[in-house]
């Protein structure tokens, strides 16, 4: 902790110096090398922008175990039947072929910050001049009593997309008539603040058509959530009587589960359920802890450059970073990646560095053609990424506007995935 | 939709208090009939009016943009209609003054009417054919900002495409460089002037989209010019 504090100061000072006078870092081995860990919203964007904008002056390696990345964004729409699974899967072919990124399908299992190398599960090490970490989230052990990752088949989280999303969808569709779907919602901060509530909407959408007497229970350790008024209005309109949201005031935070018996106990009351979606408390992807750059569950970063406060050679993006006011979203990770890419290029090749700017917009679907959105713009201060301005959909908007908002989200999905993967 | 109306009303109020001397009197409908003759080449209004080159203008006050059935509107106006734009005096005044500033891809091949008095006359005439006369009060002068056109000095700014390229990465989180137009409009290959005018229309909140108002709102004139230069040269 003490060590972190000291480095925190050092990191901030170093960051400010970088901004004032970008200096090309002397390289003793030819081209400067950037290694990116994690090919998701943050990592894929960063790899693509550095490779694209440095025009071959920087060697970019992307380490990502999966050959297909399933976006969490729109995975709720898959559960709701609005998208198929292949439409949210993306491969790394273009990053390699069109942008010259060296894509390595492996896990990073260790980082030696003094030697500046990354070790891989398959053996071997990769040297770097700058390292970018965008590993997303892992779950906090013991966050939900009775659950750990070994129970993710009985009680899926579906908070990393792909097979987990498929499993949850299949379980919902197999629910007996009049059955019960339970969700254990996570405490702040977590990936995608409206995500659990969009999911509830999509589950309700499926049940309304297939199993209209089924019920949904949400146990929530919070007393309010993102776009709450919009979701609650939508739930009352589209799914009257189906959803029981139990906030912290009513014991929603006092929860345990039993994956063998398929029971959920909320504030002392045990209920037998048919599907249980456990979304535990989250922390930065484990590789951040292994690198020794976390403070608590997340990695504090310098808002101007996304450099870890604890190590200026490492930039941390997206969900894993602790940056200030931005939500943990794909849009945010993509936005932060561009700022980091610019800072990395400036440091390694002396290219121009402009002031950091960030934006975020999160769309959610409540029911067919009923889309809502929330968004904000941000700037970097020395202390944090600070919100400048924002907007949110209003309750009572008419159907035409809501439909336009949904259509816009489809355009955004196509746009951001092209921006990530080329 | 409510918030849009509200924001336009409050904009009108701001304009009125900032430029009290610019407020127009309600125009004279009889004079407006003469002004309308130029519009009548494409638009009809009154009993039995039909869509021609342009949509009929009966009931235009209080009508949502791009709402006449069977008329093939531009994407821009269609989107604004979906975003909740409802024609009222202020908005019609702006549209007639400079149609392209309002909707870059409008099919209305009309350069605009600069004279605020003539616009007021024209709108007073059209108002006869609307049951719900929007926000034209019965007697009091109606506030309307003039000069919605973008200042010539701003249009003349030469943007730095390299800076534009950097800034463009904020746009490409949603807008695609290949010119895809689905759900989110294409912005590549536009004439720079149209781009600048459109961005200023968001910045000044004439155009109704909240994300774009926010994005444009914090861009300086130079940054808008830089983006226009970059996207103008980016081939779809
Ligand atoms: C249900 C749901 C809905 C969502 N909806 C939206 C939405 O509508 N809009 C939005 O903007 N955001 C949304 N999000 C949030 C969004 O998915 C995340 O915020 C975003 O993916 C974060 O990007 P990231 O780069 O930090 O992590 P990720 O995108 O998760 O990428 C991390 C990658 O790192 C890899 N990795 C991890 N550890 C290692 C290692 N040791 N070595 C190598 N690779 C590693 C993983 O395999 C993964 O591919 C949603 C999330 C969920 C769960």
Q: What is the number of domains present in chain A?
A: 2
Share of residues in chain A with pLDDT > 70 (%): 93
Q: Does A355 touch chain B (CB under 8 A)?
A: no
As for ligand 1, residues whose beta carbon falls within 6 Å of it are A 37-43, 63-66, 69, 72-73, 75-76, 107-108, 134-136, 159, 191-192, 195, 199, 285, 287, 317-320, 328-331, 333, 362-363
Whether B209 maps to a domain, the answer reads: yes
Residue A76 has pLDDT above 90, yes or no: yes
Q: How confident is the model at residue A28 (pLDDT cuts 50, 70, 90)?
A: low
Give the pLDDT mean for B99-105: 89
Q: Are residues A80 and A184 in the same domain?
A: no
Q: Which residues contact B201 (CB under 8 A, 6 or more apart)?
A: B101, B102, B148, B207
Q: Are residues A268 and A289 in the same domain?
A: no
Whether A22 maps to a domain, the answer reads: yes
Q: Are residues B51 and B157 in the same domain?
A: no
Domain with A115, as residue range(s), is 5-138+282-353
Whether A393 maps to a domain, the answer reads: no
Closest B-chain CA to A404: B82
Q: Are residues A148 and A270 in the same domain?
A: yes
Q: Which residues contact A347 (CB under 8 A, 6 or more apart)?
A: A18, A22, A23, A24, A25, A130
CB–CB of A62/A143 below 8 Å?
no
Element (H, E) at A35: strand A33-37
Whether A148 maps to a domain, the answer reads: yes
Q: Which of A312, A335, A353 is the last residue of a domain?
A: A353
Whether A391 maps to a domain, the answer reads: no
Domain with B51, as residue range(s), is 2-135
- Among A204-213, A274-283, B107-116, B176-185, the range scoring the smallest mean pLDDT is B176-185
Q: Which of A278, A295, A318 is the last residue of a domain?
A: A278
Q: What is the number of domains present in chain B?
A: 2
Task: Indicate if ipTM > 0.85.
Answer: no
Whether B147 maps to a domain, the answer reads: no
Q: How confident is the model at residue B130 (pLDDT cuts 50, 70, 90)?
A: confident
Q: Does B2 touch chain A (CB under 8 A)?
A: yes
Residues of chain B with C-beta less than 8 angstroms from the C-beta of A418: 172, 176-178
Task: Give A319 Cα–ligand 1 centroid separation in angstroms.
Answer: 7
Whether B142 maps to a domain, the answer reads: no
The CATH number of the domain where B40 resides is what?
1.10.760.10
Which atom of ligand 1 is nearest the CA belonging to A363?
Answer: 8
The answer to whether A401 contacts B170, with C-beta atoms less than 8 Å apart, is no
Residue A73 has pLDDT above 60, yes or no: yes
Residue A409 has pLDDT above 60, yes or no: yes
Q: What is the C-alpha to C-alpha distance for residues B207 and B8, in angstroms, rounded to an integer?
A: 10
Give the pLDDT mean for B172-191: 88
Q: Are residues B113 and B182 in the same domain?
A: no
Pocket test for ligand 1, best of A73, A167, A339 (most atoms within 8 A of CB): A73
H-type helices in A90-217, by residue range?
93-99, 163-173, 195-210
Give the CA dihedral A361, A367, A370, A373, nearest 10 degrees: -10
Q: Are residues A23 and A126 in the same domain?
A: yes
- Among A242-246, A408-412, B62-66, the range scoring the smallest mean pLDDT is B62-66
CB–CB of A221/A243 below 8 Å?
no
pLDDT computed for residue B5 by the predictor: 35
Q: Which of A353, A387, A416 is the last residue of a domain?
A: A353
What are residue A226's phi and psi, to 5 degrees? -55, 135
Whether B146 maps to a domain, the answer reads: no
CB–CB of B157/B228 below 8 Å?
no
Whether B76 maps to a domain, the answer reads: yes
The CATH number of the domain where A43 resides is what?
3.50.50.60
Higher pLDDT, A47 or B2: A47
Nearest to A375 among B64, B166, B214 (CB): B214
Q: Does B132 touch chain A (CB under 8 A)?
A: no
Q: Are residues A117 and A221 in the same domain?
A: no
């Amino acid at each position: 902790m003490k060590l972190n504090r000291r480095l925190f100061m050092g990191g901030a000072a170093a960051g400010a110096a970088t901004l004032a006078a970008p200096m090309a870092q002397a390289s003793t081995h030819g081209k400067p090398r950037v290694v990116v860990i994690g090919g998701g919203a943050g990592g894929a964007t960063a790899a693509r922008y550095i490779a694209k904008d440095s025009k071959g002056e920087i060697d970019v390696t992307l380490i990502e175990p999966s050959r297909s990345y399933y976006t969490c964004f729109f995975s709720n729409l898959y559960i709701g039947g609005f998208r198929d699974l292949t439409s949210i899967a993306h491969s790394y072919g273009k990053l390699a072929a069109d942008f010259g990124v060296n894509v390595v399908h492996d896990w990073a299992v260790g980082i030696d910050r003094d030697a500046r190398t990354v070790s891989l599960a398959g053996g071997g090490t990769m040297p770097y001049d700058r390292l970018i970490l965008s590993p997303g989230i892992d779950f906090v052990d013991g966050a939900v009593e009775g659950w750990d990752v070994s129970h993710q088949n009985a009680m899926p989280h579906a908070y990393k997309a792909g097979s987990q999303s498929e499993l949850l969808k299949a379980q919902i569709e197999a629910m007996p008539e009049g059955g019960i779907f339970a969700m254990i919602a996570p405490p702040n901060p977590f990936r995608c603040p409206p995500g659990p509530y969009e999911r509830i909407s999509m589950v309700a959408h499926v049940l309304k058509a297939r199993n209209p007497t089924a019920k949904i229970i949400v146990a929530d350790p919070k007393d309010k959530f993102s776009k709450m008024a919009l979701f609650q209005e939508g739930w009352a309109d589209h799914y009257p009587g189906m959803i029981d949201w139990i906030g912290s005031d009513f014991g929603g935070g006092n929860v345990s589960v039993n994956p063998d018996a398929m029971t959920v106990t909320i504030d002392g009351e045990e209920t037998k359920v048919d599907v249980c979606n456990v979304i535990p408390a989250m922390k930065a992807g484990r590789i951040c802890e292994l690198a020794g750059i976390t403070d608590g569950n997340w990695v504090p970063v310098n808002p101007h450059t996304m450099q870890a406060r604890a190590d200026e050679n490492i930039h941390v993006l997206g969900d894993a970073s602790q940056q200030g006011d931005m939500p943990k979203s794909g849009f945010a990770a993509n936005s932060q990646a561009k700022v980091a890419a610019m800072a990395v290029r400036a440091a390694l090749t002396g290219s121009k560095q402009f002031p950091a700017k960030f934006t975020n917009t999160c769309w959610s679907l409540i029911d067919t053609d009923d889309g809502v959105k929330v968004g904000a713009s941000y700037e970097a201060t020395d202390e944090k990424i600070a919100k400048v301005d924002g907007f949110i959909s209003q309750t009572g908007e008419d159907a035409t506007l809501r439909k336009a908002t949904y259509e816009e989200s489809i355009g955004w999905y196509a746009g951001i995935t092209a921006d990530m993967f080329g | 939709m409510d918030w849009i109306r509200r924001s336009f009303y409050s904009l009108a109020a701001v304009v009125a208090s900032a430029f009290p001397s610019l407020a127009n009197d309600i125009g004279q409908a009889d004079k407006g009939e003469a002004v309308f003759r130029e519009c009548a080449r494409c638009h009809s209004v009154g009993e039995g009016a039909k869509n021609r080159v342009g949509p009929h203008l009966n009931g235009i006050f209080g009508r949502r943009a791009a709402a006449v059935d069977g008329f093939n509107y531009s994407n821009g106006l269609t989107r604004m209609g979906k975003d909740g734009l409802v024609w009222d005096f202020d908005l019609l005044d702006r549209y007639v003054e400079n149609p392209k500033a309002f909707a870059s891809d409008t099919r209305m091949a009309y350069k605009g009417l600069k004279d605020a008095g003539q616009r007021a006359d024209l709108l007073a005439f059209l108002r006869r054919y609307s049951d719900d006369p929007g926000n034209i009060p019965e007697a009091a002068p109606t506030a309307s900002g003039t000069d919605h056109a973008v200042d010539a000095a701003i249009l003349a700014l030469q943007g730095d495409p390299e800076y534009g390229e950097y800034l463009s990465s904020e746009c490409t989180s949603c807008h695609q460089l290949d010119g895809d137009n689905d759900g989110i409009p294409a912005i590549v290959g536009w004439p720079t002037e149209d781009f600048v005018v459109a961005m200023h229309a968001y910045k000044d909140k004439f155009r109704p989209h909240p994300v774009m108002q926010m994005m444009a709102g914090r861009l300086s004139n130079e940054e808008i010019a830089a983006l226009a230069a970059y996207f103008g040269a980016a081939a779809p």
